[in-house]
Structure 1
């Protein structure tokens, strides 16, 4: 089957369903590999809702990299018939990490682009979900990968080619005529290796051309396709199983992509319009069902209603004070330049011009005057443009969480991300203790015993990381999870974001960022908040803030050119550096391909520097401390080539 386009997702689901009950009626198990990001967890919750309705059992394994997948695949149960990979594995040749079998079908639902061509077009045991028609959009690449897989490059024929270069043109014309007359014979000759002076040269030439097509496709840089939670919701509508709960998960997944600047503002708006229509349709269906059941149509705080709204680019404004929400948001902080005293004064002047006292702005938003909250949007729209805040509002959604009030989609994204990313060591560094942090965890992290040995460190990390994953999953319940974990995540996010702003300001003030010919680099080796950025999600937040700052206050010579940035953070307990590269669009709301994944791979291969991929984006890696200097010096050279 190879791949399936969006219009046929329901057929793939039915195939999974049939496989689950194919062994004499006994249900088999579906295995999920799920990466640690908000979109993946939302999609996972949606898939499990569908499977439960069909009484299909499943097992979930959270994975943080391809090494996890390789290890889990080796101990996979014999009852497994379908493996679903959510936002993981799409960039990699899965045949190198998993033993393929006719009894098991691997389904890859991954928004990372570009797709691995072998997975999509060569291995029948792998089915790649894709939101477009790959046969149409990648027709040339499909032919290229099939040709290179069916044919071997003859190294011994290279010398003959160079010696007979002048004779090749005439021979090629003759060969082409013969090929058209006897195509079947030519294919047989190529595969069986029948002795010929002409066929190997043709195969070699076409092999080189095909390989060049593949290399060009894979070297375009990484991007993100439509969120997999959106794709899963489309599948649910095909199955006629859409609901408000599934729609909300799809909205949260989409919002996570937008807030991480993985999709453009234009693409985001196109999908939000679809979701707005869908929320109104489902609301009408729900109201009609209540009427038919004789229930009252009066407003119910527990109705879980989803409403399309305009949200501020102030971080978690409903749960923070207005001042802190603005000060700690990337958008406002970078536009006003709050790392300098004039920038902080501009923020105070903005609030004063809006007619809000500092005392009011420092209160938790829920405790602010109702009259002030009513006029907030009007005042923001009137005053903010004077301070360069032209895109202060954007289209989003809120949902009623009963008597606990409204939650915006961005609130949920921030909460779930923080629940995922925060390690015991980072909690100690921030001097923050959430309800789930035990005294034993606090003591181990404080004594830096979490990674006292390589194996012990890996086991310890797996323990808290898996706990984080399932805590994040539970927070997406309608109730917010046990102990209202969704709100706990918001409090945690406030601490993480403060650390991001603190570290970002320190980098700017100390002029840590070095400008190379093709990119900027920043290396962090000390500081109280360092453990916070050992996680790729937190490190990406820091890089994102720095891109915002450079976009507003960088060199005037940069104009509207991209702002590629590499940030490396020392992980003291393992004496390694966590390195991430971001492409840095020069305009907010635009997305450009990230080529750092290709650059990092080439540096690793050519300079013989071992790297470990963290997560499933090749632009986030871990390298030894001793290799950092060579690695960073090589980036500028390989960016030019």
Structure 2
């Protein structure tokens, strides 16, 4: 039996080389990059007629449970780039190579006169005991430094696409999945821009290779054939499937830049559109229904007026790719990400997490266009709820400075609170709120402060989700809250569950909120 976990890294466990008579167990995390990697792996298995079973895992307990059920007689192997091994501690610094040494140190003998145990204190034993104590102290230090910050490695989907290419089994569809996975890491701030650009540079030759066709072949290719093209994409959320105005009002950068939650901000946005010569009537109708001349000139107009409105081109444009298949189906990578994450986090009670997982796999199949359209509509609803919640935080002054960090809570009973009981949406709300608060605050120090956000999670269990994110000015994206949450919970005996793969997201008993946050404030002073 093989097994593999796909999240920020890919893990295989195998007793021997996979062959057609062996079944492979694939454990997949609830992340779009992981699902894209899973789809690539499915294709490779199907090419070689390998039997496989896919098990979605929401957290560490699910992963451990599934692994234990299938762990008899298997080894663990890692499929990853060598660069990701740089900061991993040496095995001998963390694990004892010979456990018998520890038994020898505790070996006692009987005193012939008293019949009581007499401990041996020979010189060799003392030296060994001192070395063991020194090793344990060093081990604690190494493990603390290793777990102090959390981050992300290379995209799993890119790693598996690279493997498919080296096996001469890569296709345009697999390439598109890798693009989606890489882009998801960036827009969710899992990797910094430089790493994202490195991945894009790695993908570009494959896009050219698989999509370059001589002119005489173009006419003979089916219209439904997938075409992937490089594009300097506007970072306006799903604007091709929304109105330009609504997209501007629901995209993090433009919403915060114009402060659209205020009357003055709305007025300035109207002025911006008027300066560009885009009538409001045109901007408020669906993008596909706009006059062709306006649609074709949107990007150029944004570039032309970006300096006047102090718009950062790097924040407004994203080097990326889009896919075209059929006459109507054109999606950029971010469109697919928002739609698929909305389906993955569907809050309808008739669907379980496993149902949402399978629905998202369907959405990533480009032939299921009806799933994509449904996902886009769901994403619009979730984004609208998110922007309303950000405005509520700001209007009611609910973002509080605790000294070493900022914090806020989504109260139980708040409209649409159900959306923020999901980790991906909660993380997106945290980033959006912090960016918006930094835009309105007159205190420049807030850009150097991290942010902690809590939201109601489970009524029956009386729990809430808590997430911590780094400051706006911290471009390294390293997160220290995983370790901080552990220590705050330990010192106060707060009832917490550290089950998510992201250590900076935890489940906390609502009753323990006050003492937990008091400890967190003291810890981070």
TM-score, normalisation: structure 2: 0.88
Structure 1 range deviating more: 621-630 or 246-255:
621-630
**Matched residue of 2:452: which SS?**
strand
- 1:225 equivalent in alignment to 2:219: no
- 1:629 equivalent in alignment to 2:508: no
State the alpha-carbon separation in 2 of the partners of residues 150 and 504 from structure 1: 55
8 Å CA contact retained: 1:423, 1:465: no
Deviation at 1:142, TM superposition (A): 3.6
The match for 1:479 is 367
- 1:504 equivalent in alignment to 2:390: yes
State the alpha-carbon separation in 2 of the partners of residues 152 and 497 from structure 1: 59
Q: 1:134 to 1:423 in 2, by over 3 A?
A: closer
Q: Which whole-Å deviations, capped at 9, do the CAs of 1:427-449 have from their partners, x for residues lacking one?
A: xxxxxxxxxxxxxx4xxxxxxxx
- 1:45 equivalent in alignment to 2:43: no
Deviation at 1:564, TM superposition (A): 1.0
Q: Which of 259, 263, 274 is 2:191 aligned to?
A: 263
**Matched residue of 2:473: which SS?**
coil
The CA RMSD over aligned residues, in Å, is: 2.8
Runs of 4+ aligned structure 1 residues displaced above 6 Å come to: 151-154
State the alpha-carbon separation in 2 of the partners of residues 149 and 639 from structure 1: 39
Q: Which runs of 5+ in 2 are unaligned?
A: 1-8, 107-121
The match for 1:86 is none
8 Å CA contact retained: 1:144, 1:211: no
- 1:282 equivalent in alignment to 2:210: yes
The match for 2:283 is 361
Q: Which whole-Å deviations, capped at 9, do the CAs of 1:517-540 have from their partners, x for residues lacking one?
A: 211110121311111111111111
8 Å CA contact retained: 1:585, 1:591: no
The match for 1:238 is 166
- 1:27 equivalent in alignment to 2:21: yes
**Matched residue of 1:386: which SS?**
coil
Q: Which runs of 5+ in 1 are unaligned?
A: 1-8, 77-99, 105-124, 158-192, 426-440, 442-462
Pairing of 1:295-314 with structure 2 (within 5 A): 297=219, 300-314=222-236
Q: 1:533 to 1:148 in 2, by over 3 A?
A: farther
**Matched residue of 2:40: which SS?**
helix
TM-score, normalisation: structure 1: 0.73
Deviation at 1:402, TM superposition (A): 1.1
Q: 1:301 to 1:548 in 2, by over 3 A?
A: farther
**Matched residue of 2:404: which SS?**
coil
- 1:568 equivalent in alignment to 2:497: no
The match for 1:170 is none
- 1:144 equivalent in alignment to 2:106: no
Q: Which whole-Å deviations, capped at 9, do the CAs of 1:577-597 have from their partners, x for residues lacking one?
A: 11111113326xx33211111
Structure 1 range deviating more: 513-522 or 199-208:
199-208
State the alpha-carbon separation in 1 of the partners of residues 163 and 282 from structure 2: 47
The match for 1:389 is 311
- 1:547 equivalent in alignment to 2:476: no
Query: How many residues of Structure 1 are paired with residues of Structure 2 in the alignment?
Result: 499
State the alpha-carbon separation in 2 of the partners of residues 420 and 362 from structure 1: 29
**Matched residue of 2:191: which SS?**
coil
State the alpha-carbon separation in 2 of the partners of residues 19 and 485 from structure 1: 37
The match for 1:488 is 374
Deviation at 1:296, TM superposition (A): 5.8
**Matched residue of 2:320: which SS?**
strand
- 1:597 equivalent in alignment to 2:482: yes
Deviation at 1:345, TM superposition (A): 1.1
The match for 1:399 is 323
Deviation at 1:18, TM superposition (A): 5.5
State the alpha-carbon separation in 2 of the partners of residues 408 and 569 from structure 1: 31
8 Å CA contact retained: 1:354, 1:380: yes
Pairing of 1:34-433 with structure 2 (within 5 A): 34-76=28-70, 100-101=71-72, 103-104=73-74, 125-133=75-83, 137-138=86-87, 141-147=90-96, 196-219=125-148, 221-284=149-212, 287=213, 297=219, 300-390=222-312, 391-424=315-348
The match for 2:425 is 538
Deviation at 1:612, TM superposition (A): 1.7
State the alpha-carbon separation in 2 of the partners of residues 298 and 17 from structure 1: 47
The match for 1:520 is 406
8 Å CA contact retained: 2:405, 2:451: yes
State the alpha-carbon separation in 2 of the partners of residues 152 and 362 from structure 1: 75
**Matched residue of 1:580: which SS?**
strand
Q: 1:486 to 1:614 in 2, by over 3 A?
A: farther
8 Å CA contact retained: 1:319, 1:364: yes
State the alpha-carbon separation in 2 of the partners of residues 151 and 249 from structure 1: 50
Q: Which whole-Å deviations, capped at 9, do the CAs of 1:518-576 have from their partners, x for residues lacking one?
A: 11110121311111111111111111111221332334331762x31111112362221
State the alpha-carbon separation in 2 of the partners of residues 148 and 215 from structure 1: 21
State the alpha-carbon separation in 1 of the partners of residues 84 and 463 from structure 2: 39
